């Protein structure tokens, strides 16, 4: 049986070592909180609502890669594909709180939900005001009538962008309001060609025959909506766009941001071919693309494939999206 091949050190240390590597390249803009795996801005403002994100390692550059000006203010991190423990979330909450409240933004997974909820209760005991925004953008993971059961995937990027921008000047309640609207106007779906792996076990998360692909595969290997024979990029992207547009729905006259996200080991050649078709299909529908991101934004180790995410814009969300940001993974 084929085994994953990674150039690493001790497998049990990969999450900590990649975190230390991120800190080393950030020129002092991020620092680790003592004793825990959590990143916080060194230039943290004292006069704004705080944005705290977090989740398991293995999805780099998510989550700590989006800590910076105009994005998240801190990230609480877990091990590979594992939620951060409640004590890590709570300590990060205490560190980032400046009296104006802390908004939690993270992907909708059972472990993350439980641990962030525990931290929120403990923070409330310390008189720290919090609010939770769970991202549930993955259209393949549950029907629309059960949207709150959907997984969070690359849509986290857009939700963090809007929240971070709004937090620069909005009140706590207004940050929540516009961020939840952005979350509810964000949809994603992906296609997997091969599995990612967990370094500690040195095994792939699932098996996918060489002549098959899976539509809607989750970031940890959760089942998608269809397993099919390999086909052309245009055929696959057409299916993805159809599912995205039918779900919100996105309609003629809408303006969107488009994210073509590498799940781990796909090439820019593949991503740009997908971008070409996605733009053409949206134009046929009368949907204009305000801005496109292409690259590694939310990965699953070396999973081969990509996801498409769209954020439907209104004037307020568009103006927030266009504000500057500066982090390891996203700058404008």
DSSP 301-325: TBBEEEEEEEEE--HHHHHHHTS--
Nearest of 196, 191, 241, 198 to residue 212 by alpha carbon? 191
Residue 138: strand pairing partners: 188
pTM value is 0.97
Q: Which residue is catalytic, options 69, 220, 279, 290? A: 220
Considering the domain architecture, whether residues 164 and 55 belong to the same structural domain is answered as yes
Considering the domain architecture, whether residues 48 and 141 belong to the same structural domain is answered as yes
Query: Is residue 332 one of the residues assigned to a domain?
Result: no
Can 69 be counted among the known catalytic residues? no
Q: How far is CA 276 from CA 123, 257, 264, 279, 282, in A?
A: 46, 14, 20, 5, 10
Q: Of the ranges 4-8, 221-225, 296-300, 319-323, which one carries the lowest mean pLDDT score?
A: 221-225
Task: Give the model's pLDDT for residue 2.
Answer: 77
Mean pLDDT of 36-45: 97
Mean pLDDT of 53-57: 98
Mean pLDDT of 109-136: 98
Task: Give the model's pLDDT for residue 205.
Answer: 85
Query: Is residue 145 one of the residues assigned to a domain?
Result: yes
Q: What is the pLDDT of residues 208-258, one digit of tens each?
A: 899 999 999 999 888 889 999 999 999 999 999 999 999 999 999 999 999
Contact 297, 62 (CB under 8 A): yes
Query: Is residue 1 one of the residues assigned to a domain?
Result: no
Last residue in a domain, options 166, 184, 202: 184
Q: What is the pLDDT of residues 155-174, one digit of tens each?
A: 999 999 999 999 999 999 99
Q: What is the pLDDT of residues 253-304, one digit of tens each?
A: 999 999 999 999 999 999 999 999 999 999 999 999 999 999 999 999 999 9
pLDDT, the chain, mean: 96
- Is residue 305 pLDDT above 80, yes or no? yes
Considering the domain architecture, whether residues 141 and 201 belong to the same structural domain is answered as no
Query: Is residue 132 one of the residues assigned to a domain?
Result: yes
Of 192 and 222, more confident: 192
Contact 237, 189 (CB under 8 A): no
Nearest of 197, 229, 234 to residue 215 by alpha carbon? 229
Of 111 and 195, more confident: 111
Query: Is residue 331 one of the residues assigned to a domain?
Result: no
Last residue in a domain, options 141, 167, 184: 184
Q: Which residue has 């991503």 as its token pair?
A: 271
Complete DSSP assignment for 91-126: HHHHHH--SS-EEEEEE--HHHHHHHHHHHHHHHHT
- Which residues lie closer than 8 Å to 14 by C-beta, 6 or more apart? 8, 57, 80, 199, 200
- Is residue 1 pLDDT above 70, yes or no? no
Last residue in a domain, options 184, 205, 225: 184
Considering the domain architecture, whether residues 158 and 88 belong to the same structural domain is answered as yes
Q: For residue 68, what are the domain limits?
A: 11-184
As a whole number of angstroms, the distance between CA 38 and CA 53 comes to: 10
């Amino acid at each position: 049986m084929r085994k994953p091949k990674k150039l690493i050190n001790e497998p049990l240390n990969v999450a900590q070592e990649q975190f230390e590597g991120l800190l080393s390249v950030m020129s002092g803009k991020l620092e680790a909180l003592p004793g825990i795996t959590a990143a916080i801005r060194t230039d943290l403002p004292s006069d704004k609502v705080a944005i705290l994100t977090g989740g398991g390692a293995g999805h780099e550059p998510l989550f700590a890669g989006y800590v910076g000006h105009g994005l998240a203010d801190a990230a609480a991190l877990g091990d590979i594909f594992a939620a951060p423990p409640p004590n890590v979330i709570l300590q990060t909450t205490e560190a980032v709180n400046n009296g104006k409240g802390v908004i939690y933004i993270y992907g909708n997974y059972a472990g993350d939900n439980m641990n962030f909820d525990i931290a929120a209760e403990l923070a409330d005991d310390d008189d720290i005001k919090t609010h939770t925004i769970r991202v549930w953008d993955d259209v393949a993971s549950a029907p629309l009538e059960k949207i709150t059961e959907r997984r969070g995937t690359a849509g986290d990027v857009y939700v963090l962008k809007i929240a971070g921008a709004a937090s620069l000047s909005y009140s706590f309640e207004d940050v929540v309001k516009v961020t939840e609207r952005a979350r509810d106007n964000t949809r994603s779906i992906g296609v997997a060609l091969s599995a990612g792996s967990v370094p500690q076990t040195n095994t792939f998360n699932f098996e996918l025959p060489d002549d098959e692909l899976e539509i809607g595969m989750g970031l940890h290997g959760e089942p998608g909506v269809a397993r099919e024979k390999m086909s052309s990029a245009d055929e696959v992207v057409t299916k993805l766009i159809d599912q995205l547009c039918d779900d919100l729905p996105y309609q003629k006259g809408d303006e969107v941001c488009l994210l073509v996200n590498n799940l781990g080991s796909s090439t820019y050649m593949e991503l740009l071919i997908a971008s070409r078709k996605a733009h053409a299909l949206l134009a046929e529908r009368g949907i204009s693309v305000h801005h496109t991101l292409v690259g590694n934004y939310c990965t699953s180790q070396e999973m081969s494939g990509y996801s498409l995410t769209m954020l439907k814009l209104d004037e307020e969300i568009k103006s927030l999206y266009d504000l500057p940001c500066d982090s390891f993974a996203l700058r404008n």
